[in-house]
Amino acid sequence: MKMKKYKWGIVAALAVITLIVAATLALIPPPTKAQEPEWKRETKLQVDDVYFLAGEDDNTEDNLIPIITTLYLTNAQWNSSGNVKIVAYLLRTNPNIAVDKSTVEIGVILGSTTKEAGVQMILPGLNTPYDVDFLIFENDLLVLRGQGNIEVVQIRAGGSIYNYVQINKYADFKQVSDIT
C-alpha cells in the first residue's frame, strides 16, 4: 500500500515538474530579429520588377544619355529588413569595364511591403550594348545580385530625336548569400 502511494507521489511530482517546464517555455518569447546574431538572420528580399527609362540628351554631340532605373524591392517576411543598399554598375559588354556606378541607400523595409528605388546612371554612348549589374546589400552583406543588358537606341522622326532603352537581356536576380 505504501508502495502505491509512493508511486503516485512520484507520478504527481513528475507531472508538476512537466507542467512547470511547459509553462516556462510557453512564457519565454521567441528571440526577435534584433536579438539574433547577424549571420543567423534570414533575408526575404526580392526584386519584383525593374524598369529602365532613357532620359533626354541635352547635348547630342557628347551622346551622354541619363538612364533612370526603377527597382521594386519587396521584403517578403513579417519582420522588418535590415538596412538595405543598392549599388549599380554600368559596364561595357566587352571588355567588362565599369563606365558608371551609382549607390542608393534604401534603409529599412518594413515586413510584407515593397519599396520603389530609383537608380540613375549615365550611358556614355548610343547603339552600344551595356551590361547592368545590381548588387543589393542588407546590413552590408551582399544578398541579391541582378544582371541585365541594355542599349539606348536613338530614333529620328520628323525634326525630333527620341531615345529609348532596348532591353537585350532582362535583369535576372539571384540570391548570393544564404544567411539562414
Flag whether pLDDT at 41 surpasses 60. no
103 and 22 in a common domain: no
- What pLDDT is attached to residue 145? 94
Within a domain: residue 16?
yes
Q: Determine the 3-state secondary structure of 35 from DSSP.
A: coil
25 and 45 in a common domain: no
57 and 1 in a common domain: no
Mean pLDDT of the chain: 82
Nearest by Cα to 94 from 61, 119, 131: 131
Flag whether pLDDT at 24 surpasses 60. yes
How far from chain centre, in Å, is Cα 131?
19
96 and 25 in a common domain: no
120 and 139 in a common domain: yes
Flag whether pLDDT at 179 surpasses 60. no
Flag whether pLDDT at 180 surpasses 50. no
Q: How confident is the model at residue 159 (pLDDT cuts 50, 70, 90)?
A: confident
- What pLDDT is attached to residue 109? 94
Within a domain: residue 117?
yes
44 and 20 in a common domain: no
Flag whether pLDDT at 135 surpasses 70. yes
Residue 49 C-alpha cell reads as 520588377
98 and 16 in a common domain: no
- What pLDDT is attached to residue 25? 72
Flag whether pLDDT at 1 surpasses 70. no
Interval 76-98: pLDDT, tens: 988 899 999 999 999 988 778 89
Q: Are 51 and 73 in contact (CB under 8 A)?
A: no
Residue 147 C-alpha cell reads as 544582371
Task: Return d(Cα 22, Cα 19) in angstroms, integer.
Answer: 5
Contacts of 35 (CB under 8 A, 6+ apart): none
Cβ neighbours of 168 (radius 10 Å) = 13
- What pLDDT is attached to residue 100? 93
CATH of the domain at 118: 2.60.40.10
Task: Return d(Cα 145, Cα 46) in angstroms, integer.
Answer: 10
Within a domain: residue 180?
no
58 and 11 in a common domain: no
pTM: 0.71
Average pLDDT of the residues in 54-66: 70
- What pLDDT is attached to residue 36? 54
If one counts the domains in the chain, the total is 2
**Which residue range is the domain that position 1 belongs to?**
1-30
79 and 25 in a common domain: no
Within a domain: residue 35?
no
